[in-house]
Amino acid sequence: MVQRFVDWPQAWRVISTRYPPINLFERLTPDPAVWETLIALEQLTNPRLRDEIGDIALVPPAERVTGPGASYVMASFTHLNPKGSRFSDGNFGVYYAAAALETAIAETVFHFEGFARDSADPPRNEDFRVLVGTVAAEFEDVTGLPEAERDAILAPHSYAASQALARKLRAAGATGITYPSVRHAGGQCLGAFRPRAVGIPRQERHLQYRWNGTRVDRYFDYSRDEWINL
């Protein structure tokens, strides 16, 4: 694949507020080699910490990050989605971000709709937090692939080809993948395989998605104090 240097002064990510920051990652020593010992000691007095942190062993010490906001990155790699995602088969984590807030919203609205639909949820609202950080690293560029292969990887409702590619690239040591958004025309996304491939983000604003029982028809932007129709 063709590599491309991704230099985004703003990399946008939207996550549900159901997943609070894991404060321990903010407080840990900069030496990641001793994290397992410190976490084990903390768990003696806080047995719920294991669920909050996830499986730290999934992230090699050399790839771990700490400091203010680090939990927003680390959680993507220590809490795995068993169902997988476009560039993960459920056995490893991926940090997804977009070059524009509108793209990040479109991507997360699509997945939230799928979750609410599968759960047969009645009309309801859910809050999300917007994260913004920076990215400056080499990524594998999907747009450089032959058209047939690219189309398979970007298939709207199948992750078979994209997960197979991700397994291969990650095993070869790739930083991650950059690709056109499937949910927002013209949008650009990336999936990072390593925590150190992305800058530690900060919380930028809150949003609230309204599920009307069929779809997300609008969202509330707390920073603008207004509803935006979709």
Residues 204-222: tens digit of each pLDDT: 999 999 999 999 999 999 9
State yes or no: pLDDT of 146 exceeds 70.
yes
Residues in the chain: 230
- In the chain, what percentage of residues exceed pLDDT 70? 85
Token pair recorded at residue 152: 């398979």
| Count: domains in the chain | 2
- On whether both 202 and 170 belong to a single domain, the answer is yes
- On whether both 128 and 53 belong to a single domain, the answer is no
**Which residue segment(s) compose the domain that 126 sits in?**
2-19+93-229
In a domain, 83, yes or no: no
In a domain, 36, yes or no: yes
- On whether both 155 and 52 belong to a single domain, the answer is no
Task: Return the pLDDT at 90.
Answer: 96
- On whether both 69 and 181 belong to a single domain, the answer is no
State yes or no: pLDDT of 1 exceeds 70.
yes
- On whether both 123 and 164 belong to a single domain, the answer is yes
In a domain, 210, yes or no: yes
- On whether both 44 and 144 belong to a single domain, the answer is no
This prediction's pTM: 0.87
pLDDT tens string 173-192? 999 999 999 999 999 999 99
Least Cα distance to 230 among 109, 131, 108 occurs for: 109
pLDDT tens string 30-62? 666 655 555 555 555 555 555 556 788 899 988
Output 117-125 pairs: Cβ under 8 A, ≥24 positions apart: 121/211, 121/213, 122/213, 123/210, 123/211, 123/212, 123/213, 124/211, 125/208, 125/209, 125/210, 125/211, 125/220
- On whether both 57 and 13 belong to a single domain, the answer is no
- On whether both 142 and 28 belong to a single domain, the answer is no
